[in-house]
Amino acid sequence: MGILLSFILTIIGIAVQRNVVGPRVCQARRLATPPVSQVDLAARLQVLGLKINQSAVSKIEQGQRPVLDIEVVAIAKALRVSAAWLFGEANEPSGSSTR
């Protein structure tokens, strides 16, 4: 989607969803024991070699930032859930199939 179209849709109040995993990332963080903050998730992703900060995690969760496939795999690993679950293709978050 072009920047101009995205800008116009934002102005008229239509949300532009940029990923499908965001709500599941947020859910996995909150369901973790203990819960994982956005800052903690960003730190875990940085240890895995991704340059993602808390702001990026927030945008991912809100669907405002696209997520690369390699990022989905790293997020799944960091949160100990499967990539399939993040995509909504599995009912249970555990049983990591990201290896």
Domain spans in the chain, listed from the N-terminal domain onward: 18-86
Per-residue pLDDT of 81-93, as tens digits, reads 999 999 999 888 7
99 band by pLDDT with thresholds 50, 70 and 90: very low
Per-residue pLDDT of 15-72, as tens digits, reads 667 888 999 999 999 999 999 999 999 999 999 999 999 999 999 999 999 999 999 9
Output the CA angle 45-46-47, nearest 5 degrees.
90
Looking at CATH, the fold of the domain delimited by 18-86 is given as 434 Repressor (Amino-terminal Domain) (1.10.260)
Q: How far is CA 39 from CA 4, 26, 29, in A?
A: 31, 12, 11
* Report field, pTM of the whole predicted structure over 0.85: no
**Per-residue tokens: 44:** 């875990």
**pLDDT score recorded for residue 75:** 98
Helix (H) or strand (E) holding 30: helix 22-31
